[in-house]
């Protein structure tokens, strides 16, 4: 377990999210790819977001999938899934952004948010799972 989560501060999401990821992945071998709910980098200049820090920590490719546009993240690929007119914003490190966007578009689930991210979010929030 980790201590109480840090407060959210725009542009510093990683401060709150990286410690629990360290706890979950501690001692885990064989990771080939990590998909996060957030940005890899926050601007075209490479200002590191959560995904860049996860990549630095675990040394595997990281795909960032954000639900809202972060000011300045004009480099993110927009991916529309299902019937949603609202895009997801995809960034990546260790894999090209076009390849990452293609993978996000092909992830399981008929809705805007891929099933894996939706279920991970529900688990993190302690929401009971209901079958579809």
Model confidence over 58-105: pLDDT tens digits? 999 999 999 999 888 999 999 999 999 999 999 999 999 999 999 999
The reported pTM is: 0.85
Quickly tell me which residue has 């979950």 as its tokens: 24
Query: Contact, 40 vs 70, CB < 8 A?
Result: no
Residue 93 DSSP SS3: strand
pLDDT at 2 > cutoff 60: no
Parse the chain into domains and list their residue ranges.
31-125
CATH architecture of 31-125: 2-Layer Sandwich (3.30)
- What strand order describes the sheet that includes 34-37? 34-37, 62-66, 88-93, 77-79
pLDDT at residue number 11: 61
| H-run or E-run covering 106 | helix 97-106
Please say if the pLDDT value at position 6 is more than 70: no
Q: Which of the residue ranges 8-12, 42-46, 61-65, 119-123 would you say has the lowest mean pLDDT?
A: 8-12
Residue 4 pLDDT class (50, 70, 90 cuts): low
Question: What is the separation of C-alpha 35 from the centre of its chain, rounded to a whole number of angstroms?
Answer: 5
């Amino acid at each position: 377990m980790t201590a109480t989560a840090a407060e959210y501060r725009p542009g510093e999401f990683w401060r709150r999210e990286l410690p629990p990821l360290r706890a979950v992945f501690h001692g885990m071998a064989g990771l080939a790819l990590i998909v996060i709910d957030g940005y890899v980098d926050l601007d075209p200049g490479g200002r590191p977001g959560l995904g860049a820090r996860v990549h630095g920590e675990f040394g595997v490719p990281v795909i960032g999938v954000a639900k809202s546009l972060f000011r300045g993240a004009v480099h993110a690929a927009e991916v529309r899934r299902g019937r949603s007119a609202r895009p997801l914003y995809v960034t990546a490190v260790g894999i090209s952004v076009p390849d990452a966007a293609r993978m996000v578009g092909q992830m399981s689930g008929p809705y805007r948010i891929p099933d894996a991210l939706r279920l991970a979010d529900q688990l993190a929030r302690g929401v009971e799972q209901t079958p579809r």
